[in-house]
Amino acid sequence: MSKKILIGGIAIIVLSLALYLVSGATAQPTRINWGEAVKKAQNGEFATIETNSNNHSIILVSKSDSSVRFASVYPAGKAKLDEILDKAGVTQDKFPQIENDVSNSPDRWRGMLLFVPIITMFALLFFYMRSRRESGGGLRTGRGPSGAMGFTRNSGKLIVPQRVGVTFQDVAGADEAKQELEEIVEFLKQPERFTKLGARIPKGVLLVGPPGTGKTLLAKAVAGEANVPFISISGSEFVEIYVGVGAARVRDLFERAKKMAPCIIFIDEVDAVGRKRGSRAGGGTEEREQTLNQILVEMDGFDSQTNVIVLAATNRADVLDPAFLRPGRFDRQVMVDNPDYMGRSQILKVHARSKPLDSGVDLERIAKQTPGFSGADLANLMNEAAILSARRNKTSIGLSELEEAIDRVVAGPERKSRIISEREKVITAYHEVGHALVAKLVKNVDPVQKISIVARGRMGGYTRVGAGDDRTLWTRSQLEDFMAFALGGHAAEELMFGEVTTGPSNDIERVTSIARSMV
Ligand code: ADP
């Protein structure tokens, strides 16, 4: 039930009760006996007298103030009120106007006023029940949530289809992924081209890749290219502590999507619901299984004419339930990986579109220095550089800001407030130089780009080496050299000071993880 109806209903109830009370205050006439009434009539105090011949009751309205009213009863008998008054000696000039058979109207209206709140309450109850029934919630169990309105409904913000302004041009790099998705755009635009030949429209596409690589952006771009509505929801929103709520949400989601077809449903973090069934990890298993089943049922229920395509994103395709990946469900997988050098420089260019750069700035140089950065990191980098330039009152972004932004993205902002003793600075300096020297001496580590002993985040300092090429294959000697490089700081501390500090703990973690994966 919408908030507006609820507020409107409460307003009606309050208003009618207030009216009831106010009308009671003004309309209640004072009771007087017939003798007093006659006396007042003889004095010419009344403008009108309203009669009710059934029970001979009368309301006498004062001449001076119409809100002053008296109630009385005139003697029963054959005589009419005017005759009785005439006999009682009320003279012509003082004679009130007599209105016959005016039933005691104010009282009747007051009575009706009492009905209004009751009717309104019933109406509210009716709307409430209906909204719950529509959302599919509350039907299921006594266990389910009661009282919380629209509990199972996906909140309006999520379900309102966005017309996205994003196109493939906004997604840089990721060319293979774009090619794969191009086909989906075609399906959405001209389904008949495919259905004529008996081709089945794909129902689900799984976008697999680490966080920040642009999976959401790609899904939006598909919707933008095809010019269809984009409904997005996160897998974790389906997972509730109440069994059955997640499934009801899925039903609701697909129901609405079908009404809007052609459209795209985007489920982010699908692994939150799509994990292998039966594995006990993570708790809430029963609820998750029901939700997962419901998604599968809904997808199976699409007929060949339903032009709704579900795009789902995950960084863990390996933990997904095999039923998820069967033909007819998420049978297409699109890999979206961290960008390579070319990809990085294109992404930087996309995000530099609205930002003025110094004339000499070479974004490719920045791309070279940022191996392992995701698209989101690079977007963040450009933004940080713009903020830094603004803080320095510059009108365009220079190389120094870009390079500083890299440090900020890697290690967090400078910690100027942290007080570092001279001795700590010396130790950090030796430590970093140790890394740098080893990097120079071994064969397989790229040249040192930057050494810093400015504290950032939790790090005291760092030594950054460039990445000559993007590598996916590493040889044994490369890995060994890299481990030596990582331990350079540790060795330098030992050599200079005869003992080590807690500084290299991070290095040792890295070396351990490399050694472990080598095994
Ligand atoms: P994911 O869904 O994979 O976690 P997002 O799509 O949410 O990542 O990406 C976050 C942001 O990073 C995007 O809004 C965009 O600004 C930037 N981004 C990521 N990949 C790219 C790319 N290939 N081209 C341009 N911008 C990108």
Following DSSP, what letter does each residue of 251-303 receive, concatenated? HHHHHHHHHH-SEEEEEESTHHHHBPTT--TTS-HHHHHHHHHHHHHHHHH--
The reply to whether ligand 1 has any atom less than 6 angstroms from the CB of 208 is: no
Tell the residue nearest (CA) to atom 25 of ligand 1: 171
Are the CB atoms for 254 and 265 separated by under 8 Å?
yes
- What angle, rounded to 10 degrees, do the helices at 215-226 and 175-189 form? 30
Residue 124 pLDDT > 50, yes or no?
A: yes
**What's the start-to-end Cα distance of the chain, in Å?**
60
Measured CA angle at 303 (ends 299, 309), to 5 deg:
50
Q: What ligand 1 atom has the least distance to the C-alpha of 172?
A: 24
Residue 505 pLDDT > 60, yes or no?
A: yes
Q: How far is the CA of 304 from the centre of ligand 1 (A)?
A: 32
For the whole model, what pTM was predicted?
0.64
* Tens digits of residue pLDDT in 217-230: 898 888 888 888 88
Mutate to test the pocket of ligand 1, among 162, 167, 170, 217 (most ligand atoms within 8 A of CB): 217
Mutate to test the pocket of ligand 1, among 213, 215, 218 (most ligand atoms within 8 A of CB): 213
| Residue 133 binned pLDDT confidence (cut-offs 50, 70, 90) | low
Is residue 32 classed as helix, strand or coil in its secondary structure? coil
The reply to whether ligand 1 has any atom less than 6 angstroms from the CB of 213 is: yes
| Residue 157 binned pLDDT confidence (cut-offs 50, 70, 90) | very low
The reply to whether ligand 1 has any atom less than 6 angstroms from the CB of 215 is: yes
Q: How far is the CA of 337 from the centre of ligand 1 (A)?
A: 11
Return the higher-pLDDT residue of 440 and 160. Answer: 440
Q: How far is CA 114 from CA 10, 12, 18, 22, 118, in A?
A: 14, 11, 10, 13, 7
The reply to whether ligand 1 has any atom less than 6 angstroms from the CB of 171 is: yes
- Range of lowest pLDDT (64-73, 277-286, 392-401, 451-460): 277-286
Q: Which residues are catalytic?
A: 432
Q: How far is the CA of 172 from the centre of ligand 1 (A)?
A: 9
Question: What is the rounded distance in angstroms from the CA atom of residue 251 to the CA atom of residue 277?
Answer: 20
| Residue 142 binned pLDDT confidence (cut-offs 50, 70, 90) | very low
* Tens digits of residue pLDDT in 386-427: 998 999 998 888 888 888 888 888 877 777 777 778 888 899
pLDDT for residue 105: 56
Residues in the chain: 519
Kindly state the average pLDDT of the residues 468-495. 86
Kindly state the average pLDDT of the residues 117-121. 87
Residue 311 pLDDT > 80, yes or no?
A: yes
pLDDT for residue 188: 85
Residue 338 pLDDT > 60, yes or no?
A: yes
Highest-pLDDT range among 326-330, 343-347, 408-412, 421-425: 343-347
Residue 434 pLDDT > 90, yes or no?
A: yes
Q: How far is the CA of 176 from the centre of ligand 1 (A)?
A: 16
Kindly state the average pLDDT of the residues 335-346. 88
* Tens digits of residue pLDDT in 269-304: 888 777 776 655 555 566 777 788 888 888 877 776
Tell the residue nearest (CA) to atom 12 of ligand 1: 376
Residue 144 pLDDT > 50, yes or no?
A: no
DSSP letter, residue 63: S
The reply to whether ligand 1 has any atom less than 6 angstroms from the CB of 178 is: no
Highest-pLDDT range among 28-32, 153-157, 236-240: 28-32
The reply to whether ligand 1 has any atom less than 6 angstroms from the CB of 164 is: no
The reply to whether ligand 1 has any atom less than 6 angstroms from the CB of 166 is: no
Kindly state the average pLDDT of the residues 353-362. 85
The reply to whether ligand 1 has any atom less than 6 angstroms from the CB of 175 is: no
| Residue 474 binned pLDDT confidence (cut-offs 50, 70, 90) | confident
The reply to whether ligand 1 has any atom less than 6 angstroms from the CB of 346 is: no
Highest-pLDDT range among 26-35, 283-292, 476-485: 476-485
Place of tokens 């809430």: 284
pLDDT for residue 138: 35
The residues, ordered by sequence, that sit 6+ positions from 151 with a Cβ below 8 Å of its Cβ are 135, 137, 138, 144, 145, 245
Are the CB atoms for 457 and 415 separated by under 8 Å?
yes
- What angle, rounded to 10 degrees, do the helices at 375-391 and 341-351 form? 40
The reply to whether ligand 1 has any atom less than 6 angstroms from the CB of 379 is: yes
Residue 450 pLDDT > 80, yes or no?
A: yes
Kindly state the average pLDDT of the residues 188-208. 83
pLDDT for residue 155: 42
pLDDT for residue 140: 33
Q: How far is the CA of 260 from the centre of ligand 1 (A)?
A: 26
Task: Pick the closest to residue 207 from 260, 165, 265 (CA basis).
Answer: 265
Residue 364 pLDDT > 80, yes or no?
A: yes
Tell the residue nearest (CA) to atom 15 of ligand 1: 376
pLDDT for residue 141: 30
Q: How far is the CA of 181 from the centre of ligand 1 (A)?
A: 16
Return the higher-pLDDT residue of 211 and 260. Answer: 211
Torsions phi, psi for 474 (to 5 deg)? -120, 135
| Residue 156 binned pLDDT confidence (cut-offs 50, 70, 90) | very low
The residues, ordered by sequence, that sit 6+ positions from 105 with a Cβ below 8 Å of its Cβ are none
pLDDT for residue 145: 38
* Averaged pLDDT score across all residues of the chain: 80
pLDDT for residue 143: 33
Q: What ligand 1 atom has the least distance to the C-alpha of 336?
A: 3
Q: What ligand 1 atom has the least distance to the C-alpha of 210?
A: 3
Tell the residue nearest (CA) to atom 5 of ligand 1: 214
Return the higher-pLDDT residue of 445 and 301. Answer: 445
CA atoms within 13 A on the CB side of 38: 15
* Tens digits of residue pLDDT in 84-109: 888 888 877 878 888 877 655 556 67
pLDDT for residue 20: 80
pLDDT for residue 331: 77
The reply to whether ligand 1 has any atom less than 6 angstroms from the CB of 375 is: yes
